[in-house]
Amino acid sequence: MARMQDAHNVQVHPEWRTQGYRYYRAVWVECAELLDHFGWKWWKRQHPDLDQVRLEVVDIWHFGLSDLMRAGALDEAVADRLMAVTDQPAGDGERFREAVENLAGQTLSDRLFAMEPFVAVLDALPLPLTELFRLYVGKNVLNHFRQDHGYKAGTYRKTWQGREDNEHLVELLAGLDGVPADAVPERLYQALADRYAAD
């Protein structure tokens, strides 16, 4: 994942490590977006959109991974923590919300990505490493696709055929189950391109 993240970051800016990007800010904003997809409003009926919740967790990981890489803090201990997350039954919704709030709070307080609260979010959802990786690869491909089609310049259309690109991503990834892992990025990129062009 680190190699894929570095390649994407270089696509955004070749000297990304020295630009002073506030990855911690992106993390807490993504936490808020995640809670909106999960539901937290007591004054209206809400149903968790777990596909989008998982993608928001992946977005948090993109920024957290970038922060860890830039700080030189990516090591075996990080990998061990991710591998310790198990695919247990979904837990209590309030426990998950509180885990997200703890991640946002510590990230804001420290102005750095906080690994332990992130792992607590993975545990509370749950989102084991195998699924985090699968979704990470998909979102990384989408991020490259966005950049190739004008995201930074402001010419990219995020909504196609009445749906956000993240929704298309979830659907297309599901259609690639059983495809060899090394073939997924190229096949997914082409599928995204086909849908984008058809709009």
pLDDT at 85: 84
Q: How far is CA 122 from CA 76, 172, 188, in A?
A: 18, 23, 25
Return the sign of the alpha-carbon dihedral for residues 171, 174, 179, 182: positive
pLDDT at 96: 96
In the chain, what are the domain boundaries?
A: 2-131, 133-198
Residues 86-111 as b/e (b if ≥16 CB within 10 A, e otherwise) read: eeeeeeeeeebbebbbbbbebbeeee
pLDDT at 58: 98
pLDDT at 132: 95
pLDDT at 113: 96
Q: What is the mean pLDDT of each run of 10 residues along the chain (199 residues)?
A: 95 96 98 97 94 97 97 90 79 92 98 96 93 96 96 95 96 94 95 94
pLDDT at 88: 74
Query: Is 2-131 a CATH 1.10.4010.10 domain?
Result: yes
CA 25 remoteness from chain centre: 15
* pTM of the complete model beyond 0.75: yes
pLDDT at 46: 92
